[in-house]
Structure 1
Amino acid sequence: MFQRNVGTLDRALRAVAGLALIAAALAVDGMVWGWIGLIPLATAVVGYCPAYRLIGLSSCRQRPTTRNAQG
């Protein structure tokens, strides 16, 4: 469907940030922060960030290309 553009470290940081925002929302009764926390959590789970696509950024490592024998 979508080409992954969020790398492993980026995904981990997004998951931690998302969970922290959701926890803060539950602790302080700030429902808005909980909803905002869903965004980095969802992009961490899926591995795709639409904002990265818009600005042409990717935190994934590039896979080595294999050269054709005729190349």
Structure 2
Amino acid sequence: MTKNMGTADRTIRAIVGVVLLALVFVGPQTAWGWIGIIPLATALMGNCPAYSLIGVRTCKKQ
């Protein structure tokens, strides 16, 4: 898979993913925090399937 996410995008997604996952264990302890797996996984892979569908790239051209 080719990367279609830039550094800033990946960093923001990783932070949001960790914060959402923290909601499962700390705070309101809601199951909705498991949604944080999605932005965290896309940040680690560097590829967003939704970006691929609509043709968006936030990384520099290779």
| TM-score, normalising length: structure 1 | 0.80
Higher normalized contact order (CA 8 Å, seq sep 6+, divided by chain length): 2
Aligned to 2:30: 30
How far is 1:25 from its partner?
A: 2.2
Structure 2: 5+ residue runs without aligned partners? none
Tell whether 2:41 aligns with 1:54: no
Large movers: runs of 4+ above 6 Å: none
What SS is found at the alignment partner of 1:29? coil
Structure 1: 5+ residue runs without aligned partners? 64-71
| Identical aligned residues as a percent | 46
Aligned to 2:7: 8
User: Please, what is the CA RMSD of the aligned residues?
Assistant: 0.9
**How many residue pairs are counted as aligned between the two chains?**
61
Larger-Rg structure: 1
